[in-house]
Structure formats: C-alpha cells, structure tokens
Amino acid sequence: MQIIEHPILGEKSNEEVTFYFNNQPLKAKKGQTVAAALMANGIRKLGVSRKLFKARGVFCGNGRCMNCFVTIDGLDHVLSCTTLVEEGMKVFSNESDPGVRGEK
C-alpha cells in the first residue's frame, strides 16, 4: 500500500525505476526511500542483528534507530530509510558484519 496523493505533500511521482535487492530486480517509484521501496515489494527483513542474528528491518523510519542498514552500491551501513532509491541501484541485505564479530 502506498500513498499516491497526499493532502499536504501533493501528488507523488508515478515514474518507475528498477533497482536490485540481493540481485533480484524490483520496481519502485522515483522519490521513494529504499526502505519504502523494499516494503512496497513485500520485503521486511533487511539483515540480521550483530550478536544474536535476529531479523532486522525498518523500525523508526526516520534515521534514528540504525536498524535498517543495508549495503548500497558497495557502500556498507547505509540507512535505507533515509536514502532515495535510484535507477539501477544495487542493494544488499546486511546478513553479516564480520568486522564486529572478529571474522574479518
């Protein structure tokens, strides 16, 4: 479910872009955040927690909780809820953090 027209923000763009999540091509609306685009495609799990390997996803949705880290175009630890999706963007879930676990 997406808000197409907002009484204050106005009409959203209907222009579509294609991006990739774990190499799977997905469609998004131009101007959506990566987190919103993933949720619109039914994806809730963005990675696992560092110590307990529990599923992580969008919690606050405004860049405060640091729960929605993903890797975007090779850059680790990008907040998906504050990053706008772009054509051809390659997003990967954060399934591991070898530096924290001493595996690096």
Kindly state whether residue 61 participates in binding ligand FES, applying the rule CB under 6 A: yes
Binding segment for ligand FES (CB under 6 A), chosen from 1-9, 37-45, 47-55, 58-66, is: 58-66
Tokens of 23: 């190499």
Smallest Cα–Cα separation from 90: which of 71, 103, 62? 71
Per-residue interface string for the shown chain with ligand FES, residues 18-57, x marking contact by CB under 6 A: ----------------------------------------
| Cα–Cα distance, 23 to 3 (Å, whole number) | 27
Applying CB under 6 A, among 24, 41, 54, 66 the residue interacting with ligand FES is 66
For ligand FES, the closer CB: 3 or 16: 3
Query: Is 85 within 8 Å of 17 (Cβ atoms)?
Result: yes
Kindly state whether residue 88 participates in binding ligand FES, applying the rule CB under 6 A: no
Contacts to ligand FES by CB under 6 A: 58-61, 63-68, 79, 81
